[in-house]
Amino acid sequence: MKNLLLLHGALGHSDIFKPYLQDLSKQFNIHTPLFSGHGNTEIPHDGISIEKYTQELAEYCKQQKLNDVYIFGHSMGGYVGLCYALQLPENVNSVLTLGTKFDWTEEQALKESTMLAPETILLKIPKYAEQLELQHGSQWKELLPAITGMMVSLGKKPPLNSDSLSKITTPVQIMAGDHDNMVTLEETVQTYRRIPNARLMILPDTRHPMEKVRPVLLMDIMKDFWNLY
Long-range pairs, 138-146, Cβ under 8 A, ≥24 = 139/37, 139/43, 140/11, 142/43, 143/11, 143/37, 143/38, 143/43, 144/11, 144/116, 144/117, 144/118, 145/116, 146/37, 146/43, 146/44, 146/47, 146/48
User: What is the tens place of the pLDDT at every residue in 133-181?
Assistant: 999 999 999 999 999 999 999 989 999 999 999 999 999 999 999 999 9
Residue 227 C-beta-side C-alpha neighbours within 13 Å: 4
**Contact in structure between 83 and 76 (CB atoms under 8 Å):** no
Q: How far is CA 183 from CA 9, 174, 180, 221, 229, in A?
A: 13, 12, 6, 19, 30
- Among 107-111, 212-216, 217-221, the minimum mean pLDDT is found in 107-111
> Is residue 112 pLDDT above 90, yes or no?
no
For the chain, give the mean pLDDT.
95
Residue among 78, 84, 82 nearest 55 (CA)? 84
Beta strands in 86-158 (DSSP E): 92-98
**Contact in structure between 199 and 192 (CB atoms under 8 Å):** yes
**pLDDT reported for residue 65:** 96
Element (H, E) at 28: strand 28-31
**pLDDT reported for residue 105:** 84
**pLDDT reported for residue 107:** 83
**pLDDT reported for residue 116:** 86
Span between the terminal Cα atoms of the chain, in Å:
16
Question: What band does 106 get if pLDDT is binned at 50, 70 and 90?
Answer: confident
Residue among 94, 106, 69, 104 nearest 195 (CA)? 94
**Contact in structure between 29 and 125 (CB atoms under 8 Å):** no
Q: How many CB atoms lie within 10 A of CB 42?
A: 8
Bridge partner residues of 11 (DSSP): none
The residue with greater pLDDT, 229 or 128, is 128
